Amino acid sequence: MKETNQLSVSFQRIIVYSKISKKATWSTISFYTLQI
C-alpha cells in the first residue's frame, strides 16, 4: 500500500508541476508578445 500511495503522490506532483509550467509558459509568451 505504501508504494502505491507514493506513486499517486508523485503523480499528483507531476500534474501540479505541469499546470504551473503551462501557466509560466503562457505568461512568458504573453510578456514577449506585449514587448514586440
With a cut of 80, say whether residue 9 has pLDDT above it: yes
Higher pLDDT, 1 or 17: 17
pLDDT at 1: 60
C-alpha R_g of the chain: 16
pLDDT at 19: 93
**Grid cell in block for residue 12:** 499528483
User: pTM score, two decimals?
Assistant: 0.52
Question: 15-34 burial by CB neighbour count: b if 16+ within 10 A, else e?
Answer: eeeeeeeeeeeeeeeeeeee
- The tens digit of pLDDT for each residue in 10-33 reads 999 999 999 999 998 988 888 888
State the pLDDT confidence band at 36, using cuts at 50, 70 and 90.
low
Rounded CA gap, 32 and 30, in Å? Answer: 6
Backbone angle region of 35, left / alpha / beta, with phi > 0 → left and psi within -120 to 50 → alpha:
alpha
Helix residue ranges per DSSP H, 1-36: 2-35
